[in-house]
């Protein structure tokens, strides 16, 4: 580049090409990359998180970094940071697409040889193969760019400035800036290692002597990386000239990087958390509004049911004059202000209609009482939201409730029996209940029964542990329960297979209730006693 051109034009041209001067001093990054690269070499990538589009967290597994296992990167043109942390930054419950993309390509792979392009602020590791039979290229690299973020590449990109090279442990080249920069430090280019922090430092030293500024350039030819300083929110590898008392010293690049990340990343994450909380509050307000509307509609419905008590009272008062056992579409009775025509359900008798109206009114009373409690709780949550104390939302990734268990705790669609020896037997009433038996309610050591050569109900005989002996009588009774709800139910005898539940698994993609049996323990030929169900039933 022509050094005779206007320095201001040089800086503006550089900003147009690179988006602005690098906000992390390249010489500090050189020390940090060397330290991180060798320390993390051999680490396993356990997981990847992304609090937002700028921040990426790599969870590393390695004895050398047990106390700091989170490599946190904020890729940004003005306020980037890269540091090892002992704490994982907060993350959304649902991982963004970029994090899932990285997980697919990085999880459980190891970081091998490190490489760093210190003038381009990029750090990379060669990755271990995905698997011996993988179709991925033989060599891939994890690339960390302070401006662009994390990526998985098949080859290392060209280094930043012309003449630069990717360095690795034991293969580092000294930095040789143009000595003419001392004549005009402001014209130095950040892409050549003359970052804004270094240019400002050179200006301060030149005010004292040219030798002091030249000495700094000589020191940075191959920085020692044994002392670091943070000045005005920037980390550097030299003691700020004339401002020693204002600089915070660090002996390790990791500690300096952690301090810098705390200054740059924490406020950003707090802002993100505040924005997310604002979104959550807005979502919660909409949720509360929908709940209010639903409760208003429910209250109107329940009040209508309660009003049916008056109609039931009129029917009760006139019941001695009405054909109570007949099924009518309507009846006319005397009311307080004259005759009243009451529509009835023609599928029920007059007396049954009256009883139904009383029951619905009582149900409305109970519903109103429960609804008032719900309205009070909603009002309490709205007050918390108004005070800025957002009620904790339900976890999105919590386990879904088992629909086969009702509010009373009873198994829905599953009949329960107790054998004469005290063993619990469960039998599905439909295909979904059969599926639930196999996937939710059976232990691996329980016994499973099913009719041979045809459709039928699934029966599970529960055991306390794998070594528990089951009397023959209980096995036969469970087999009879299976036979009575099978294609053999009209026969005197039935052939029933018995297997351990660990050998029974649902057919992937099949209809509910379809299973495969890997190993049958035995086959039982039993007499189908139709009275056994009623005698052993528990419900």
Q: pLDDT tens across 204-263, in order? A: 888 888 888 888 888 888 888 888 888 777 888 888 876 655 556 888 989 888 888 877
Pair (153, 70) in one structural domain: yes
What's the pLDDT score for residue 351? Answer: 92
What's the pLDDT score for residue 348? Answer: 92
Pair (421, 346) in one structural domain: no
Task: Give the integer Cα–Cα distance in Å for 90 and 50.
Answer: 9
Residue 251 within any structural domain of the chain = no
Pick from 386, 405, 431: which residue ends a domain? 386
Residue 53's CATH number:
2.30.310.10
Average pLDDT, the chain: 82
Cα separations in angstroms, 52 against 58, 261, 283, 322? 14, 16, 19, 73
User: Taking a C-beta distance cutoff of 8 angstroms, is the pair 79, 22 a contact?
Assistant: no
pLDDT digits (tens, 9 = 90+) for 276-304: 555 666 777 788 888 889 899 999 999 99
SS3 labels along 217-256: HHHCCCCCCCCEEEECCEEECCCCCCCHHHCEEECCHHHH
Task: Give the integer Cα–Cα distance in Å for 31 and 254.
Answer: 9
Q: What angle do CA 77, 78, 80 make, to 5 degrees?
A: 75
Of 99 and 4, the structure prediction assigns the larger pLDDT to 99
What's the pLDDT score for residue 392? Answer: 46
Count of C-beta atoms within a 10 Å radius of residue 388: 8
Pair (127, 74) in one structural domain: yes
Pick from 173, 189, 208: which residue ends a domain? 173
- % of the chain exceeding 70 in pLDDT: 84
Residue 210 within any structural domain of the chain = no
Pair (364, 462) in one structural domain: no
Cα separations in angstroms, 134 against 103, 105, 181? 16, 11, 51
Task: Give the integer Cα–Cα distance in Å for 266 and 148.
Answer: 20
Of 396 and 126, the structure prediction assigns the larger pLDDT to 126
What's the pLDDT score for residue 98? Answer: 87
Pair (347, 424) in one structural domain: no
pLDDT digits (tens, 9 = 90+) for 494-522: 999 999 998 898 887 778 888 888 888 99
Q: At what angle do helices 210-219 and 196-208 cross, to 10 degrees?
A: 140
User: Taking a C-beta distance cutoff of 8 angstroms, is the pair 45, 150 a contact?
Assistant: no
Report residue 396's pLDDT band, with 50, 70 and 90 as the boundaries: very low
220 CB contacts (<8 Å, ≥6 apart)?
27, 175, 193, 198, 237, 238
Pair (429, 382) in one structural domain: no
Hey, is 150 helix, strand or coil? strand
pLDDT digits (tens, 9 = 90+) for 142-167: 999 998 899 999 999 888 765 578 98
Predicted confidence (pLDDT) at residue 391 exceeds the cutoff of 70: no
What's the pLDDT score for residue 9? Answer: 36
- % of the chain exceeding 90 in pLDDT: 31
Pair (37, 156) in one structural domain: yes
Predicted confidence (pLDDT) at residue 430 exceeds the cutoff of 70: yes
Q: What strand order describes the sheet that includes 122-127?
A: 111-117, 122-127, 140-145, 149-153
| β partners of residue 236 | 229
Pair (29, 144) in one structural domain: yes
Predicted confidence (pLDDT) at residue 56 exceeds the cutoff of 50: yes
- Go through 360-387 and write b for each residue having 16 or more CB atoms within 10 A of its CB, e for each that does not: bbeebeebeeebeeebeeeeebbeebee
User: Which among 466, 448, 470, 462 is positioned nearest to 516, based on CA atoms?
Assistant: 448
Report residue 131's pLDDT band, with 50, 70 and 90 as the boundaries: low
The arithmetic mean of pLDDT across residues 167-188, rounded, is 82
Residue 7 within any structural domain of the chain = no
Pair (329, 419) in one structural domain: no
What's the pLDDT score for residue 411? Answer: 60
Pair (363, 418) in one structural domain: no
Pick from 124, 156, 173: which residue ends a domain? 173
Pair (50, 105) in one structural domain: yes
The arithmetic mean of pLDDT across residues 7-11, rounded, is 35
SS3 labels along 388-428: CCCCCCCCCCCCCCCCCECCCCCECCEEEEECCCCCEEEEE
Pair (428, 371) in one structural domain: no
Predicted confidence (pLDDT) at residue 33 exceeds the cutoff of 70: yes
What's the pLDDT score for residue 402? Answer: 47
Number of domains into which the chain is organized: 3
User: Taking a C-beta distance cutoff of 8 angstroms, is the pair 489, 483 a contact?
Assistant: yes
Residue 246 within any structural domain of the chain = no
Report residue 2's pLDDT band, with 50, 70 and 90 as the boundaries: very low
Predicted confidence (pLDDT) at residue 133 exceeds the cutoff of 80: no
Residue 274 within any structural domain of the chain = no
User: Taking a C-beta distance cutoff of 8 angstroms, is the pair 351, 331 a contact?
Assistant: no
Q: What strand order describes the sheet that includes 81-85?
A: 44-49, 55-61, 70-74, 81-85
The arithmetic mean of pLDDT across residues 116-133, rounded, is 85
| DSSP per-residue string spanning 84-104 | EESSPPP--SS--HHHHHHHH
Query: At which residue do the structure tokens 């999880």 appear?
Result: 107
Residue 159 within any structural domain of the chain = yes
What's the pLDDT score for residue 432? Answer: 85
Q: What angle do CA 125, 130, 132 make, to 5 degrees?
A: 125
Residue 194 within any structural domain of the chain = no
pTM, full prediction: 0.51
Domain extent for 147: 23-173
The arithmetic mean of pLDDT across residues 113-130, rounded, is 90
Report residue 275's pLDDT band, with 50, 70 and 90 as the boundaries: low
User: Which among 218, 252, 216 is positioned nearest to 235, based on CA atoms?
Assistant: 252
Residue 243 within any structural domain of the chain = no
Dihedral, 57, 61, 63, 67 alpha carbons, nearest 10 = 30
| β partners of residue 526 | 494
Predicted confidence (pLDDT) at residue 8 exceeds the cutoff of 80: no
């Amino acid at each position: 580049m022509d050094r005779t051109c206007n320095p201001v034009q040089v800086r503006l041209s550089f900003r147009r090409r690179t988006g602005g001067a690098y906000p992390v001093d390249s010489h500090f990054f050189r020390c940090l990359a060397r330290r991180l690269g060798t320390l993390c070499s051999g680490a396993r990538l356990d997981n990847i998180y992304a609090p937002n589009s700028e921040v990426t967290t790599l969870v590393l597994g390695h004895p050398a970094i047990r106390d700091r296992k989170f490599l946190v990167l904020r890729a940004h043109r003005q306020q980037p940071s890269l540091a090892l942390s002992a704490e994982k930054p907060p993350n959304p419950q649902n991982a963004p697409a970029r994090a899932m993309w990285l997980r697919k390509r990085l999880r459980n792979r190891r970081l091998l040889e490190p490489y760093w392009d210190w003038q381009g602020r990029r750090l990379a590791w060669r990755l271990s193969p995905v698997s011996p039979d993988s179709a991925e290229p033989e060599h891939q690299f994890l690339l960390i760019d302070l401006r662009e973020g994390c990526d998985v590449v098949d080859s290392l990109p060209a280094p930043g400035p012309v003449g630069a090279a990717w360095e690795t442990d034991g293969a580092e080249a000294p930095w040789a800036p143009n000595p003419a920069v001392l004549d005009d430090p402001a014209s130095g280019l950040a892409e050549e290692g003359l970052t804004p922090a270094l240019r400002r430092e050179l200006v301060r030293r030149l005010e004292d002597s040219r030798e002091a500024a030249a000495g700094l350039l000589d020191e940075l030819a191959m920085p020692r990386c044994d002392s670091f300083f943070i000045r005005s929110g920037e980390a550097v590898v030299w003691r700020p000239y004339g401002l020693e008392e204002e600089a915070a010293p660090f002996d390790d690049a990791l500690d300096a990087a952690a301090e810098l990340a705390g200054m740059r990343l924490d406020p950003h994450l707090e802002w993100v958390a505040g924005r997310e909380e604002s979104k959550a509050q807005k979502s919660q307000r909409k949720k509360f509004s929908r709940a209010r509307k639903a409760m208003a509609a429910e209250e109107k419905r329940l009040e209508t049911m309660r009003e049916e008590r008056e109609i039931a009272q009129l029917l009760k008062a006139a019941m001695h004059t009405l054909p109570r056992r007949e099924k009518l579409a309507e009846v006319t009775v005397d009311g307080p202000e004259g005759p009243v025509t009451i529509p009835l359900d023609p599928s029920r008798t007059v007396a049954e209609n009256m009883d139904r109206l009383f029951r619905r009114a009582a149900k409305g009373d109970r519903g109103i009482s429960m609804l008032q409690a719900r309205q009070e709780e909603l009002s309490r949550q709205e007050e918390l939201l108004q005070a800025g104390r957002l009620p904790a939302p339900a976890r999105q990734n919590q386990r879904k409730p088992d629909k086969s268990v009702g509010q009373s705790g009873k198994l829905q669609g599953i009949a329960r029996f107790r054998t004469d020896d005290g063993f619990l037997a469960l039998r599905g009433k439909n295909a979904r209940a059969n599926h639930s038996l196999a996937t939710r309610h059976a232990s691996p050591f329980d016994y499973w029964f099913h009719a041979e050569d045809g459709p039928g109900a699934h029966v599970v005989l529960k055991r306390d542990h794998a070594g528990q002996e089951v009397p023959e009588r209980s096995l036969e009774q469970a087999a009879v329960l299976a036979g009575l709800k099978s294609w053999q139910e009209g026969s005197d005898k039935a052939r029933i297979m018995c297997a351990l539940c660990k050998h029974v698994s649902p057919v992937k993609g099949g209809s509910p209730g379809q299973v495969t049996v890997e190993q049958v323990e035995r086959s039982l030929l039993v007499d189908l006693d139709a009275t056994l169900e009623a005698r052993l039933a528990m419900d």
